[in-house]
Chain A
Amino acid sequence: MADERIQRVTMPKWGLSMTSGTVTDWVAAEGEEVAKGADLAEIDTDKIVGTLEAAGDGVLRRVVVAAGSAAPVGATIAVIAPPEVPDAEVDAVVDAERARLAAGAAEAEQGPAAADVAVGGRSVAYASLGAGDGDPVLLVHGFGGDKNSWLFVQEPLAADRRVIAVDLPGHGASGKDVGGGSLDELAAVLTGFLDAMGIERAHVVGHSLGGAVAVAAAARAPERVRSLTLVAPAGVGTQINADFLRGFAAADTRKGLKPHLASLFADSAQVNRRLVDDLLRYKRIDGVRQALDTLLGTLLDGDGPALDIAPLIAGVGVPVAAVWGAQDAVLPVGNADALPPSVRTRRVAGAGHMAHMEAPAEVRAAVEEAIAAAG
């Protein structure tokens, strides 16, 4: 029986489709003391490179999977233990894990479980991860996105509570009929989803269009929402990149789509072939084009924004936190000035519109803060 103080660092499962990852770089070195939340390694999922953080305090005693090597999800890639644990004990664990890896055995996948549920005649898909006594966290993606966009946020948040990422109507694996596509209709689906899941109250996190939907849901059913974390929410301020939204909705080839995706990120190198291909696959499903066109009408009034949710935010009466990428080229960060003064906003350098992918630690911190403020 191994010493309980020895923590195995495992290959995370960032997103439903991830089965293995490649350690591209060890940020922490062997022998280095690491604190919970410290950056450990850069990991490439094929879709995007993310940073794996330490789940606990200790010393990074051994690296099991070297930089440049791949390992299946759940495999031990390093071992953290306090300095007083003898080397021999650490090595025994490492040897056993190496042998398991060589034999092709890996931990049972701990990643999100995907399912769907009927909400008012619609099929709504979601991925649930983690468990705990507290109210769950509900993650709501933006226009053209899906539940997998939370890949770097869902797993760390789920350490001690249930975290559910949902697919809005017209998106991901949910039904593609968005009806009239109004904010109210989408918010009703969100509260209907909580009903269907038997969730009384949730901390709701929304990105872009999903941010506006989260606020509208809180305004409709204040008793269901404990806190709100808004990542570059739509409907705040007057600046919106209408060309991006229309171009994204219309693009139906790899070449047509790629430049639009580049404007989602501060670092356009984040847009690799897999990301483009996955989006193309989604966009080629029957009904998606129509859904996106309908939702364009919800987001845009001419070339300006059609939504104004700032008054709703001011009136929700629950803690609200916000995160905004300083290089957001879709809903520029200047929009954050229109948030009520009570909202603590993190403006994150080096992040674009997809702040939850480029700066997941900031988004997680904002969510933790909102949850703490809700008491």
Chain B
Amino acid sequence: MARTISYREAINEAIAQEMARDPAVIVMGEDNAGGAGGPGAEDAWGGVMGVTSGLYHRFPGRVLDTPISESAFIGAAIGAATRGMRPVAELMFVDFMGVCFDQIYNQAAKFRYMFGGNAVTPVVIRTMYGAGLRAAAQHSQALYPLFTHIPGLKVVLPSSPYEAKGLMTQAIRDDDPVVFFEHKAMYDTTGEVPEEPYTIPFGEAETAREGSDVTVVAFGGMVARALEAADALASSGIEAEVIDPRTTSPLDTETILESLAETGRLVVVDESTPRCSMAADVAALAAGEGFALLRAPVQQVTAPHTPVPFSAGLEDLYVPDAQRIANAAKAAVDWSR
């Protein structure tokens, strides 16, 4: 039976159910049990945001606290995955991914290809992204385009508790390396989630709202803002269709182009910086395959090409908000009434 739980609880439940179902599933990361080498008795943290809270005692020996050594434990997780385990490794902030990037993009992402399809690497790397928590330039980035760029990685951005659980279950069961992006401002958002395990396939976009005037493609944490903008637009007579791709790799281009065929207008909302972003990627899709469908220039709503500011006022201006999305949609509609 479905009940209302948080984004955080949905991720926890998916991991717990998969651990119960499959003994190969293990959890590793920093501060899962209150610090490496500690007794773990208090199970105090469950990761920096408490997502894996409760798993340490429920699955003895299968929740590993690691030292602050990302390249070591991400490498260990990838190695374990090649030997039959299904590790779910938590790398606190995606901003720290740089120190272990070789393990991810040059090892995990390449094994299936380089071993002629004979190797699988079923590792899930959970990580937090996004601005809005006053965490400054090194803890606030939305770096999913970096990983989307790499063939061999699957990149997931859940936008609701329902998606978080179904996509996490799919990520754990998937035989390829998956980078699972959790927006740090979304952990307390709630929604209806079935109790039973279920999966959401990768590469299938969700049409979060139907509309015929303008297509708004929004990623992860931007979906809620796009929906907010769509509500505001509706009161001024513009019906926006909001598409939540759910995964950036693979990307459901078909659903985006189908919607564009209906509306002829496209807004892409991406919390990352604009160069080589998802916004640029989807705009290129429209400019190429969707060229004949376009009735107005594609509007890209992104962060500016700067680090995330620490100043609260500047940070609030940095992240795309509903007003900017609505303005972009209006500009697209006004171009060709």
**A interface residue numbers (CB < 8 A to B):** 17, 114, 116, 125, 173, 176, 252-254, 273, 281, 284-287
Contact = CB atoms under 8 A, between A and B. Distances in A.
Interface stretch (B195-203, B213-221, B264-272, B327-335): B195-203
B210 interface: yes
A286 B197 contact: yes
B138 to A, nearest CB: 38
10 contacts: A17-B192, A114-B1, A125-B1, A176-B196, A252-B201, A254-B204, A273-B207, A281-B198, A285-B196, A286-B199
B245 to A, nearest CB: 14
A281 B204 CA distance: 13
B292 interface: no
B2 interface: yes
A285 B1 contact: no
Given A114-B1, A125-B1, A173-B1, A285 B204 contact: no
A253 B204 contact: yes
B166 interface: yes
B194 interface: yes
Nearest to A287: B196
Nearest to B194: A285
A273 B192 CA distance: 18
Nearest to B196: A285
A275 B207 CA distance: 13
A131 to B, nearest CB: 23
Say which size band chain B's interface belongs to: 10 to 19
Contacts of A17: 192
B194 A281 contact: yes
B1 A284 contact: no
A285 B197 contact: yes
A203 B300 CA distance: 60
Contacts of B210: 273
A284 B199 contact: yes
Nearest to B169: A286
Interface string B161-203: 0100010000000000000000000000000101011111100
Contact of A116 (B1, B162, B200): B1
Contact of B198 (A173, A253, A285): A285
B173 to A, nearest CB: 10
A287 B210 CA distance: 31
Given A125-B1, A253-B204, A284-B199, 15 more contacts: A17-B192, A116-B1, A173-B1, A176-B196, A252-B201, A273-B210, A281-B162, A281-B194, A284-B166, A284-B200, A285-B196, A285-B197, A285-B198, A286-B196, A286-B197
Nearest to B206: A277
Which of B166, B197, B198, B210 counts the most A-chain CB atoms under 10 A from its CB? Answer: B198
User: What 8 A-B pairs have minimum CB-CB distances, sorted nearest first?
Assistant: A173-B1, A285-B198, A286-B197, A284-B198, A285-B196, A284-B199, A286-B196, A285-B194
Nearest to A284: B198
